[in-house]
Amino acid sequence: MVSGARLEVRGVSHAFALEKRALPVLQDIDFVAQPGEFVALLGPSGCGKSTLLRLVAGLEAPSEGRLLVDGAPVTGTDPSRTIMFQDPTLFPWRTVRGNAQLGPEARGTLAADAPRIEQALSLVGLASFAEAFPHQLSGGMAQRAALARALVNQPRLLMLDEPLGKLDSLTRLAMQRELAALWERERFTALLVTHDVEEAVLLADRVLVLSDRPARICADIRVDRPRPRRRDDAGLVALREEILALLGLAEAA
């Protein structure tokens, strides 16, 4: 078992260059995720949450500010920081197993990691679909395959970019439960981007509520409820109302 990484985001601002004009997307984001903590980033769509994940993953460098993982600055991508996108982005020319072994293959550790690949596939319930091609999978199965592909790399920081956003509601509920169980077992640090308030409070230890673009952290809410959590937990329901009010979406009493 691998311990989670400690993530420090220090005064990070980011802007996109749009035809001579800079479009600010993130403004002075500052927080720390403790090792093994599950942090949800919640905000309106298009506010820059996904951009923050791309910065943490090392796919892009921030315009301003510093990103530190276990005290070391993020300078590029690293398999210990794996991201799972909203689309499964499986390689259509590879089978499910072929997709899952992408990371070890890229690093040349295929032989050593072979047992872990099978383990990850059975963990997400796709052992019997290892030889299937992505187009033969349902949306939920494809997202599970993408999860297996991420887990094979033994991430110490797993970034989830609205991974359940495009699933039907039943599959979504099932996968929320599976994600929670998985995190409790593996205890990696998790960073979940979502615009679903219920999902955020159900899964996370902490919910960072982001404002509209350029995104700032406008609330840091601790979810102190016992696990495994129930959707109808009174504390969670109250928290949900509180967060909705922050977003200006409170239901009229």
Contact between 105 and other proteins (CB under 8 A)? Answer: yes
Contact between 17 and other proteins (CB under 8 A)? Answer: no
Contact between 20 and other proteins (CB under 8 A)? Answer: no
Q: Which of residues 133-152 bind other proteins (CB under 8 A)?
A: 133, 135-136, 149
| Segment interacting with other proteins (CB under 8 A) among 19-27, 132-140, 168-176, 185-193 | 132-140
Q: Which is nearer to other proteins, 83 or 223 (CB)?
A: 83
Please work out, in degrees rounded to the nearest 5, the angle formed at the alpha carbon of residue 113 by the alpha carbons of 107 and 117: 110
| Segment interacting with other proteins (CB under 8 A) among 37-45, 87-95, 214-222, 228-236 | 87-95
Residue 166 CB partners (closer than 8 Å, separation 6+): 86, 87, 139
| Segment interacting with other proteins (CB under 8 A) among 40-48, 83-91, 206-214, 222-230 | 83-91
Pair 216, 186: CB distance under 8 Å: no
Q: How many residues in the shown chain lie near other proteins by CB under 8 A?
A: 26
139, with CB counted inside 10 A (0-12, 13-18, 19+), is middle
Instruction: Give yes or no for a cis peptide into 214 (omega within 30° of 0).
Output: yes
- Backbone dihedral angles phi then psi of residue 131, each to the nearest 5 degrees: -95, 5
Q: Kindly state the helix (H) or strand (E) to which residue 206 belongs, with its residue range.
A: strand 206-210
Contact between 16 and other proteins (CB under 8 A)? Answer: no
Q: How far is the CB of 105 from other proteins (least distance, A)?
A: 7
